[in-house]
Structure 1
Amino acid sequence: MNVLAWLAAILCILMVLIGGKKGARSFVSLFLNFIVLLFTILFMLDPNADPMIVTLIACAVISCINLFYINEVNSKTITAFISTVITIVILLLFIDIVAEKAMIQGFGEEEIEELSIFSLYIGVDFVKIGASVIIMSTIGAITDVAISITSPMREIYNHNPLISRKDLFISGLSIGRDILGTNTNTLFFAFFGGYIGLLIWFKDLSYSFGEIINSKVFSAEIISIFCAGIGIALIIPIASWINSYFLVTQRDKKEASK
């Protein structure tokens, strides 16, 4: 416990020294997001609760914390929030279909021995839980991409207030293209890094390449990576269009009121 406290203290000091007030807010947001995740899990355990609805609400709350609490309420955070919610809704519907068709719900053969002493009749829809897990794993990256697009678009607009909606949208897409590659790779290593131990175990079990690829645990992880990448790719045009529409519409209203 002392090690955890020291690591938390070091992280807090570094975030405050480097990020100032925003760094301090970012550190507090970590604990707020953790609390939201705990409540999300508790609500999902309720047999009457729909995991998809719970996930959508949790993602909206997490987005509010990451965008409005850290970066305050302004035009770029509002458009980033709207873009995030739209992307999450599309991704939830898509992942729900993929999780059911790919049959990644439940547990693989490698996990049966550990779970043999527990009852599997817990009244939870594992298809929706699987979709929720993927969404909750990517919400941070999606909000990060959203604000990374809307913030520079706002700067472009401030430096060129007469820019057309089309040109502003194209600028947003151009920014997004630079972000896309690095963020998808970040997610890939974030997901796969936690499964290095599993791959070593597969090797000790003398699994062939085909057996590894067809393993439920491995395929579920790959599908999670692909779905997360799709979410990041989707948020780019959505955030670019919403932000360009919002900024230009706001400008036209100001000109009309003069």
Structure 2
Amino acid sequence: KSTAAIGGTAVALVLIVVLSQLAIGVARLTGLVGDDMASTVFVLFDGAIDARGLLLSGILIGALGALDDVTMTQSSAVFELRDANPALRVRDLYARGMRIGRDHIASIVNTLVLAYAGASMPLLVILASQTEGFGTLLNREFLAAEVVRTVVGSVGIVAAVPLTTAIAAWFAARESAQPAPPARPATSTPPA
């Protein structure tokens, strides 16, 4: 189970890194604006800290908290399906695991969005008090960074479900196809 969960997490993290770097570049985010004190850290270290790298790290750590839950849950579900019916093949395990995963995706993405919203409460207060249009607000880096965090993290989590389910189905089917080791003969203890 753990190997499948780690595999799904690793592949999803690579996807999140690629998407984060792409989104940070396209959105031209500097990483210097936000409620995460990146600007302060940048100034304290005389610019020796890569603020964009710090933003990327924050995105990864934020997503990782939800990823470990999703991948372990998916892997466990697939192995439980296999234990309930060892005759299931990879395709069947995957299809049944994905039915479980679809329900899990909605709740975990909601959890991620709420976690980011809770961590960005000062930002939400600022947004509520602004009279500027949404398009203008969206072009501000502090909001764009939060949108990138939420969207990239959510995409990574959504992608982790089918990835982990496929890996777990492959491992589970492979394990059930292997013959069980022969039972060890019972040893009798002489009466005392």
Please classify the TM superposition score into its range, dividing by the shorter chain length. 0.7 to 0.9
Partner in structure 2 of residue 221 of structure 1 = 146
Matched, 1:174 2:128: no
SS at match of 1:236: helix
Are 1:83 and 1:235, in contact at CA under 8 Å, matched by a contact in 2? yes
Which residue of 86, 90, 93 corresponds with 1:165?
90
Q: Which segments of 5 or more consecutive residues in structure 1 lack a partner in the other structure? A: 1-75
* 1:144 paired to 2:69: yes
2:23 aligned residue (90, 95, 98) = 98
Match of 2:111 among 186, 193, 196: 186
Higher helix share: 1
Percentage identity across aligned positions? Answer: 23
Report deviation, 1:111. Answer: 9.9
TM-score with structure 1 setting the length: 0.62
Aligned to 1:244: 169
Give RMSD over aligned pairs: 2.7
By how many angstroms is 1:92 displaced? 1.1
Q: Which residue of 2 aligns with 1:55?
A: none
Instruction: Give the 5 Å matches for 1:1-258.
Output: 76-108=1-33, 118=43, 121-204=46-129, 206-254=131-179
Aligned residues of 2:109 and 2:154 also touching (Cα < 8 A): yes
Distance 1:80 1:238 in 2: 9
Structure number, greater radius of gyration? 2
Deviations 1:106-154 (A, max 9, x none): 3239999x85xx4674222222222211011110100100111111211
Contact residue 100 and residue 127 of structure 1 kept, 8 A? no
Which has the higher relative contact order, 1 or 2, with Cα contacts under 8 A spaced 6 or more apart?
A: 2
Shift of the 206–100 alpha-carbon distance from structure 1 to 2, 3 Å rule, reads same
